[in-house]
Structure 1
Amino acid sequence: MKAQTSSVIQADKGWRIWWQLARPHTLTAAFVPVFLGTALAAKDHAVHIPLFLAMMIASLLIQAATNMFNEYFDFARGLDHEESVGIGGAIVRNGVKPKTVLNLAFILFGIALLLGVYISLSTSLWIAVIGFVCMLVGYFYTGGPRPIAYSPFGEFMSGFFMGFVIIQIAYFIQTATISQQSVLISIPISVLIGSIMLSNNIRDLDDDKESGRRTIAILIGRNNAIKLLATMFAFSYVWIIFMTIFTEAPYWLFITFLSLPKAIEAVKGFMGKTEPLEMMPAMVATAKTNTFYGLLMSVGLIISFFI
């Protein structure tokens, strides 16, 4: 009986190691853009479910693989240790071989690539080119001699490719076109995804500075970085007002304001904090702001189709 209980515990622990390695709290940054782009496409087109599922799975796999590359390369550069906050910890805490993490990331990329082939053959070969560029950005975010994450451009690159580009692809594969509304709606989501990266850099500012990184949070300082985060949140909500006044966007998009308390919680959570562990709740609130905002925007769009 004890042996069976021990096996169950070990199996549960093993599952959790791999789940934590994928950093599930970041996966909504891949889920939301695909769901939103598809929801917008559903206004005038019947949704092609297999394409939607292929796009969703491919995006989640690329995001998980990017997190694994991050885990591997940060360890290889000596940046991660057992007390590091915000990492999966598979290598430094759970004894997983670094090469195993790297190989798993490439396997996920391979599966995403096969799904991309299906999507591009069903729609346009340009999707294969754009998707491959997205994968390169995911790899070089922490890989290569000059990682994007170590520069001031991490927030912009992640927001642009994970937000703007993914929404346009999700919309295009359903409609065979790009619209003004798909572009406008992708802007606040891009900003909010960038805010997730900014919150990460605010939390890791001291360690990043010691390792020689040059993130925007380091360049402008912690207090100004928190102000920038607040500005990014404010812009995302003001953008809804702009769209409903000056474009044909439905007033149902105001439902996104229900996520505003999470944004306020995130900003307040960073104020006066200097220890990474103290700032983890604020970082979680930032990620949830993106999730709630994006899903509420999708709900608003869907409701507007029937009213």
Structure 2
Amino acid sequence: MSSPNSSSEKPHSEHPVDYPGLLGAWLAFTRPKTWGLTVAPVMAALALVWSEQHIFDPIIALFTVSVAVLMQMLTNMENDLGYTERKAEVGNRRGLPRATTRGWISVSAAKAAIRAVIVLGLLNTAVLIHFGGWVFTVVGIASIIAAYCYMGGPKPIAYTPFGECLVLIFFGLTSVCGTFYLQAGFVSLNAVLLSVALGCIASAVLAVNNFRDRAHDASVGRRTLAVVMSEEGFLKLFEAMIVLPYILVAIIVVKDMTYWPYFLVMASFPDCMRLPEKLKKLEHEALNEVMFACVKLEVKFCGLFVIGALIQSLLMQLTVRQFTL
């Protein structure tokens, strides 16, 4: 395996034995399996605004999804490169392979790709600013800074206990409320509740990642939440992260029973309840299964919410027609 320094010069001339090919290297660098964490909340927010306000602008929706994917890509790429530049990859790490550390992608190529994604993100944000106003200047810049600061800069957020909180803010509140605002011009209480629900599941993904790597992280000076908390306390926090979303959807429905089709999300509850036990029992690389199960839970939860919201909207339209006949 090439060292980080040699990989930055000739990553493709002397490939490590585990080199997955050009496409595989870039897939490892950008990690498309995680993109669902950003697309699913946007789709759920679009369904919510349609259910509540019967508003949908496909152009705005397209650029909203595009920005979300680009920010997730940027986060993944910065995380991969940041580890390599800090030489934080040591032998006791149990996570997925990092493309730059393995020498699959050179540091120079990685930096060029990151710059390109930032430019694309800014261009997409400019479109959202046109539709949503100056507030999205702040949202766009803050998202890029957060993606960079997670593993970049002198004091990366990844080295602190605040990683899960950052995910809640940007993959929950910002994603859902921002999408809703772009379509409707305001943010409803239900949008806030949904944003916290989806942010919790997204935070659970990072929680599993940090729980898996807690021994490695402690050895390189990373004080993640999984490192600073007791194992028992962290496991309880994880369980709260994945159960709270169902409570929040229940609150939405109890406030107004016309939204009862939102309860369709409960079809994913059995998947949710299997995760805490797996987190307790599995170790090391086997925990990757739990991490991706959390990603799938977010996608499934959002998919069921979208279906429920569309059913609710259809039922309301049928009710209105009956009263007008």
TM-score, L = length of structure 1:
0.90
Tell me if structure 2 keeps the 8 A contact 1:17–1:90.
Answer: yes
- 1:216 & 1:261 partners in 2: Cα distance? 26
Q: Which runs of 5+ in 2 are unaligned?
A: 1-19, 316-325
Aligned equivalent of 2:207, options 198, 201, 204: 198
Structure 2 matches for 1:112-151, cutoff 5 A? 112-151=121-160
**Distance of aligned partners of 1:158 and 1:280 in 2 relative to their CA distance in 1, 3 Å threshold:** same
Equivalent-residue separation in structure 1 for 2:36 and 2:97 (angstroms): 16
Partner residue of 2:272 out of 243, 247, 263: 263
Residue 8 of structure 1 corresponds to none
Q: Find out whether 1:72 has 2:81 as its counterpart.
A: yes
Paired amino acid for 1:301? A
Name the counterpart of 2:48.
40
Distance 2:274 2:86 in 1: 34
Instruction: Please report how far the alpha carbon of residue 249 of structure 1 lies from its aligned counterpart in structure 2 after TM superposition.
Output: 6.5
Native 8 Å contact 1:141 1:149 kept in 2 = yes
| C-alpha deviation, 1:261, in angstroms | 2.4
Seen in structure 2, the aligned counterparts of structure 1 residues 83 and 98 have a Cα distance that, compared at 3 Å, is: farther
Deviations along 1:175-204, one digit per CA (max 9) or x if unpaired, are 111112211221111111111111111111
Mapped partners of 2:131, 2:161: distance in 1: 37
Q: Residue 89 of structure 1 aligns to a residue in which SS?
A: coil
Residue 158 to residue 14, structure 1, CA distance change in 2 (3 Å)? same
Return the letter of the residue paired with 2:101: V
**Shift in Å at residue 211 of structure 1?**
0.9
C-alpha distance in 2 between matches for 1:47 and 1:236: 25
Q: Which has the larger radius of gyration?
A: 2
Partner Cα distance (2:69, 2:258) in 1: 28
- Name which of structure 1's ranges 258-267 and 175-184 shifts more when overlaid on structure 2: 258-267
In structure 2, the partner of 1:252 is 261
8 A Cα contact 1:71 1:87, kept in partner: no
**1:306 and 2:318 equivalent?**
no
Ranges in structure 1 where 5+ consecutive residues have no aligned partner: 1-11
State the partner residue of 2:34: 26
Q: CA deviation at 1:88?
A: 4.8
Secondary structure of the equivalent of 1:306?
Answer: helix
Deviation at 1:128, TM superposition (A): 1.7
- Residue 233 of structure 1: SS of its match in structure 2? helix
Structure 2 residue identity aligned to 1:135: I
CA distance in 2, matches of 1:226, 1:238: 19
- Size of the alignment, in residue pairs? 296
The answer (yes or no) to whether the contact 2:95–2:213 under 8 Å persists in 1 is: no
The CA deviation string for residues 74-131 of structure 1, in whole angstroms up to 9 with x for no partner, is 1111122588543453223343111211221221121011011011112312112212
1:61 aligns with 2:61: no
User: Counterparts of 1:135 and 1:249 in 2: how far apart (Å)?
Assistant: 39
The corresponding residue for 2:111 is 102
| Change in 2 beyond 3 A, CA 1:151/1:126 | same
2:271 and 2:103 mapped to 1: Cα distance? Answer: 32
Which of 266, 278, 295 is matched with 1:287 structurally? 295
Secondary structure, counterpart of 1:236 in structure 2: helix
SS at the partner of 2:281?
Answer: coil
Q: Closer, same or farther in 2 for the Cα pair 1:118/1:82, shift >3 Å?
A: farther
